[in-house]
Amino acid sequence: MDFEIEIANYNFSSIFLKMNNDIFVRMISKKTKYAINALVYLAKRNGEGPIVISEIAEKEHIPRKFLESILLNLKKAGVLASKKGKGGGYYLLQNPEDINLADVMRLFDGPIAFLPCVTYKYYERCEECKDEETCGIRDVFYEVRNKTVELLKKANLAEIIKRERHLITDL
């Protein structure tokens, strides 16, 4: 079966799956979207030292209290570090090339799948399924999950910045 997966726009608010002229949409949470935007901002400023929360919130139009929670989650996950006091703020612990959207989405939204029976870490059998081994629906969405994860793993912070620059020069 032929299908196409595409990311709706540069800030990754939706993932579309087109299959036989039908369109399925998987929305990401606002928290994930804000996390990606904050990470891209930090990646653009990588090597400049810690960036204060208020600057990230203002530049990326993210509510400050919401951003604090997001950055703490990213810090606990080992993606960011912080420095307290004067000259403090948040900074990337990993290279922008090593931070991909699949990992960020899983951190905030859980599994990257349309069905619970095809997830890596959050497997759950579908109630109505008679036999997973012969389920055509599961087989299709297993392939969709694999291609989606492959695309999101390739989409790292450095790639997003590169795409943004390319889009700006195309205007």
CA 118 – CA 121 distance, rounded (Å):
9
Give the model's pLDDT for residue 18. 54
Residue 14 lies in a domain: no
Residues 135 and 101 in one domain: yes
Residue 131 lies in a domain: yes
Chosen domain end from 68, 92, 116:
92
Residue 23 lies in a domain: no
- The total number of structural domains in the chain stands at 2
Give the model's pLDDT for residue 11. 44
Reading the block at residue 19, the tokens are: 């299959």
User: pTM of the full predicted structure?
Assistant: 0.80
10-residue mean pLDDT series, the chain (171 residues): 51 51 68 97 96 98 97 98 94 97 94 84 83 88 89 95 85 64
Chosen domain end from 41, 62, 92:
92
Domain that holds residue 75: 31-92
Residue 160 lies in a domain: yes
Residues 81 and 103 in one domain: no
Backbone dihedral angles phi then psi of residue 89, each to the nearest 5 degrees: 145, -160
Chosen domain end from 92, 113, 134:
92
Residue 56 lies in a domain: yes
CA 171 – CA 42 distance, rounded (Å):
24
Residues 161 and 101 in one domain: yes
Check which CATH number belongs to the domain holding 49 and give it. 1.10.10.10
CA 129 – CA 135 distance, rounded (Å):
7
